[in-house]
Each structure stands twice: as structure tokens, then as C-alpha cells.
Structure 1
Amino acid sequence: MMLVIFGIPGNITILCLLITKIRKVSSAILYCSLAVSDLFLLVSLIFKAHYHLHGNHWVLGEAACRVVTACFYGNLYCSALTLACIAVKRYMAVVHPFMYKRLPKVRCTAWVVLAIWGVFGASIVPELLVRQSFWVPQLNHTTCHDVMPLDSNSHAFLLFSNLILAVLCLLVPMVVTVVCFIQILRALNQSHHDWAMYIRSCSLVFTIFMVSFLPAGVLHFLHYVQLFVNGTESLYVYFNMAVCLCCLHACLDPFFFVLMSKSASSKLYLLTFKGKKLSISI
């Protein structure tokens, strides 16, 4: 619940700041998208916390179970994809400044964000179509998304969809972000300017990103592979712990936004081959 208490006000604050004090429209679009997805993720986390605190007993009905599950995982994927796009944007600005300078940044960013929310819309469809809650007589509880009959075609389809989404929307964005961060740090270390504070801040964000998303991405994939191959779920407890750890990022994103804004100027100045300076917004 601490994530919800700090995360929801933090993301609302960042949204208000971005809307009222826009400096760089392309960056504002990305951070607004991230804040919105984090907000939805944290709101759905309230219902999941209620479910687990009541001994994994769901009392809100089948429709609510589908909506909460779809919202939680859809926004988890959306956050990961948006963070990867932010990393790519910074990579282009630092490593390929001339190409980045020529890009129609606002238009490109708007299309990218629309594509991300399109993926979100597609990712929640299987969760909304397939039954999620089941009465378990042995436990005298109604579970939500925890117990599913593997002999059902609809649930086999849901399992396969989740496996594909874990790869495309968690593992792939994680790899992209890692590569971008490494290239950014390498380029800044080779710069003639003093970027020590920005490098330290960037390294901190990268470390927290890895701690949050690496276990979730790997265990997400392994858990669904295990279910798909032999129907066992020995990794379920670790899978849930990793997903909870991943939610930490939704709480910390507002603080990372402030940290990155304070630790770097709004312009990155690079020396061109003619000795002139090229300014790039990052």
C-alpha cells in the first residue's frame, strides 16, 4: 500500500506540472503517457492488494476481476514500452545528435505513444474476453486470475497470449532500454563536457529499472512457459513477488523525472567536426 500512497499523488503531481509547464512537447507527451499508465497500474494495484490481504478471496465479481486484471497487466506493459521509448529518445539525442536534430520529434513521439496505447488496447482484449474468477471448494475462496482450467481452449489462448506479451512487452523493451543506457553512458563518458552528475543520475535510474523489470520480465516469461509446457506453476510465488517489485517503478517514476530534470540542463552541447556547438534537447 506504500506504493499506492506515494505513487498516486506523485504521478498526479507530475501530470499537473507537465500540463501546466510544458517546455519540450515531445518529452512531455512521453512523460504524460508514462504517468497515466503508472496511475492506472497503481489504481488496479489497490484492488489486487485488497484481494491478497483477504487471503486471495475475490468478492467484487467476475466483471471487476477481468477489468482489474486487464488494467494491471496492460499498464505494466504500457509502462515498460514507454520507458523503452524514453530511453531510445535519449539515445538518439546523445549518440546520434544530427539525425535527432532533423527528426519531427513531436509528430514522431505522438505516433509512438498512440502505437503504445494501441498495444495496450490489444493486450487487454484476451483478459477481458476470458473468465478470470473461479470458486475453489477446497479453499472456500473465489480466486481471481490465480486458478484457471488448462483444458479449456479459451484459457489456453489466454496463456499463449500472455506468453507472447511477456516477450514483446517486457523482455524486448528491457533489452532495448539496457542497450540504450549503455550507449548513452559510453557516449557521455567520452564527452569533453562534465556530465558526471547526469551520468550518476542516469546510472541510478538504470539500476532501479533493472531491479524492477529484470526479475519481472524473466519470471513472467518462465512462469508462462512452464504453464504452457507442462501445466505446473512452481514459480508462481516468485512470479507474484517479481510483479509486485515491478510496481515499485510506478511509484518511483515521478522522482526519477525530477532527478533527471535537475541533474541535466535542458540542452546537450556537442562539438561538431567544424568546431561549432550543436545544442540538443534531451
Structure 2
Amino acid sequence: MNKTSCPPVSFSFEHKFLPPVYILVFIIGLVANGWGLKALLKKWNNLKIINVFVLNLGLTDILYLLTLPFLVVYYCMRSKWIFGDALCKITRFCFNLNLYGSIGFLTCISVYRYLAIVHPVRVMGRITVTHSVAISVMVWLLVSVQSLPDVFFPKTHPNFTGKCYDTTNKRNVGDYLEYSLGWTLTGFCIPFLITLGCYGHMAVVLLTMKRTDKVLKQRSLRLLFIVILLFSVCYIPHHVFKNLNLWGRILSNQKDCRGWFNGVYIACQISRGLVCLNSALNPLVYLHGNENIVAQLRQMLQQVRQMFNRMFLSNSGSVSVAETTDEVRNN
């Protein structure tokens, strides 16, 4: 145990890594979610139960994506926040609403798919769109209640102006770790176990029932893959390294220096970049749930390809004309 001051953690990695990730997620996520929500709203009168959850999933993404330009400026300016303390807290609150709202609505989608396959007659006939709307409101309220205490933790440092912590400052990190562990349990672990249980049972049913519709089986297994991808890439690393980094900060405050501090901090920043990818990956749920969107995507890609072909032919024609003119002039 080393009782001298711990060597400072290098913050340069986040300034290089996070801005390009945020810019990429902002562009892809805004286009994909905007397009997916537009497709869902076109069929508002025929809105299905699962699409209510998908719609709310898209709204959580849009809410977070609109805050990314502020974070890009913050990290490009080497962690100097110029937008005020209130907007700092709003930005961090929107991130938490997106993260835990996404987990909540993915859990709702998973439970719905489970009931539709395992208990199609006994349960599904009793669930209506009104029920799904009421459940969505409850998810928003629950996520807001879970995220609200975060707003009351200081997001700035008394000795360093312009900071906007995603957790809290050095003085309050101990209390924040206790809150974060409880938040991880209720906001992530419990929904994850519910989702895992639903898909585990559903996979067994689909693989053992010979009469199951092949299309239904493929779509359900595809959704299982998407949800596992989101949890494995986006959610699990974030919660693991966020709490490890908070614990490391507490040990550093106690001058209990460990060699893994810097490595965990870098891993935490990478996980922050990965967790924001959920706003770009969530539209995969649109593709799973709506075959019309797949057809529209193919049509759009075909139109883009035709547009580039016309541009290429137009440019080739212009070059040929120019070359012919030069030949005439030279002769």
C-alpha cells in the first residue's frame, strides 16, 4: 500500500476518442431513428402493441442524440464546459433517461415477445394498446425517479471551472458509488435477468416445437440476437467499468494507489463510447419489427445507388466533352 499521492490519471484519451464517436453516433442515430419513427407514425391508426414500446425506444434515443453536439464541443475543448451548470445536468440527465429507458423498453419488448410465443392464447388476447401505453408511462416514471438523484450530485469542481462530470466531483464520489450500485441493480441487473429469462425460455420453446412458424421463429431469434448484442456491447461494459472507476477514485482519495487506475479509466471511457452506440443500434429493433421498413430501406439504397450512377455518368460525359473540345482546339 502506497500512502503518497497517487500519480494522476491521464485524461487525454477521452479528448481523442469520444468526439469522433459522438459525431458518428449523432449522424447515424438521428437519421436512423428519425426514419424509423416516421415509418411508425405513418401507420399510427394501426399501431401494434409492440410498436408502442418501439416508438418510446426511439424517443429516448432522439432525446439523447440532441445533447451530443454539446458533449462534442466539451471534449474538443479538453473538458471545458461553456454552457452553464443547468445545461450540464440536463445533458447528463438525458443520457441516463436514454440508457435506462432503452433498457426498460427493450425489457418490455422482450416480455411481450415471450408472452406472444409461449402464452399466445391465455395472455395475449387480454393485452391491448392501452395497456402498452400505460406500461410505457410507468417505465418513463420509474426511469425518471431512478435518474433524479443524479441531478442533485455536484457536476462541477470547486477548484476547476468548466468541468461537467458524468458522475460527480471528488468530494462526493463515495456517496455516488453507493447510489450507482443501487441504480445498477434496479436499472440494469433486474431488467437484464428478466430479459435473459424470457429469451432463454422462448429459445427453448422455439427450438423444441416443430409446428412453430418458420418466419416467426427466425424473427424471434433475430430479436434475441439484437438484444444480446445491445446488452453485451453497450450495457454490460458500461456498468462494470463505471463502478470500477468510481471505486478507483475512492481508493485514490484515500491515497491507496493501485496500478490498474489508469487502465480502468481508459476502459471506462471506451465503455462510454460503446454505451452511446445504443442510440445507433436501437433502430435494428425497427428493422426486426416492421418488414415494410426493410423494403423501404432496400428502395432507399437502390435510389441512392441510382443517384450515384447518374452522377458518375454525368461526370464521365462532361469529361468526354471537355477532352473532345481540347482535341478540336489543338487541331
Matches within 5 A, 1:1-282: 1-22=23-44, 23-134=46-157, 136=159, 142-145=162-165, 148-152=168-172, 157-191=175-209, 192=211, 193-195=213-215, 197-198=218-219, 201-209=222-230, 210-224=232-246, 234=261, 235-262=264-291
In structure 2, the CA distance between the partners of 1:228 and 1:90, relative to structure 1 (3 Å rule), is farther
- Runs of at least 5 residues in structure 1 that lack an aligned partner in the other structure: 264-282
Give how far 1:90 is off.
0.5
The DSSP-based 3-state class of the residue aligned with 1:98 is coil
- Where is the strand percentage greater, Structure 1 or Structure 2? 1
C-alpha distance after superposition, 1:135-190 (max 9, x if no partner): 655xxx632115844545xx655443333222211222222222222222222222
Bigger Rg, structure 1 or 2: 2
Taking the aligned partners of 2:187 and 2:92, their CA distance within structure 1 comes to 16
The change in CA–CA distance for 1:226 and 1:113 in structure 2 (over 3 A counts) is farther
Contact 2:40–2:55 (Cα < 8 Å) also in 1:
yes
Deviates more, 1:175-184 or 1:227-236: 227-236
Deviations 1:111-143, CA, capped at 9 Å, x for gaps:
211111102321332233332122655xxx632
Residue 79 of structure 1: how far off its partner (Å) = 0.9
Partner SS state of residue 162, structure 2: strand
Q: What secondary structure, in the 3-state scheme, does the structure 2 residue paired with 1:97 have?
A: coil
Q: Give the counterpart letter for 1:144 in structure 2.
A: C
Deviation at 1:15, TM superposition (A): 1.7
Give the TM-score normalised by structure 2: 0.69
Q: Deviations over 1:190-213 (max 9, x none)?
A: 232324632552343134222222
Q: Distance in 1 between matches of 2:130 and 2:102?
A: 20
Question: Could you tell me how far apart the structure 2 residues matched to 1:175 and 1:242 are?
Answer: 21
Contact conserved, 1:126 with 1:158, CA < 8 A, in 2?
no
Q: Secondary structure at the match of 2:122?
A: helix
Q: 1:147 to 1:85 in 2, by over 3 A?
A: closer
Greater relative contact order: 1 or 2 (C-alpha under 8 angstroms, separation 6 or more)? 2
Partners of 1:70 and 1:128 within 8 A in 2: yes
Q: In structure 1, what is the Cα distance between the partners aligned to 2:159 and 2:265?
A: 17
| CA distance in 1: counterparts of 2:100 and 2:41, whole angstroms | 24
Contact 2:155 2:165 in 1 (8 A): yes
- How many Å apart are 1:67 and its aligned residue? 0.9
Contact 1:40/1:71 (8 A) holds in 2: yes
- Tell me: CA distance 1:221–1:85, structure 2 relative to 1, closer, same or farther (3 Å): farther
Q: Which runs of 5+ in 2 are unaligned?
A: 1-22, 255-259, 293-331
Aligned residues: 258
Change (3 A) 1:220 1:86: farther
Q: Structure 2: how far apart are the matches of 1:199 and 1:18?
A: 20
Q: 1:224 offset after TM fit, Å?
A: 4.3
Rounded to whole Å, the distance in 1 between the matches of 2:220 and 2:151 is 42
* RMSD of equivalent CA atoms: 2.7
What is the CA–CA distance in structure 2 between the aligned matches of 1:194 and 1:251, rounded to whole Å?
A: 29
Q: Greater CA deviation, 182-191 or 112-121?
A: 182-191
In the alignment, the residues of structure 2 paired with residue 146 and residue 76 of structure 1 have an alpha-carbon distance, to the nearest angstrom, of 13
Deviations 1:223-273 (A, max 9, x none): 44555687589333322321221221211222331134339xxxxxxxxxx
Aligned counterparts of 1:82 and 1:73: Cα–Cα separation in 2: 14
Specify which structure has the higher proportion of helix. Answer: 2
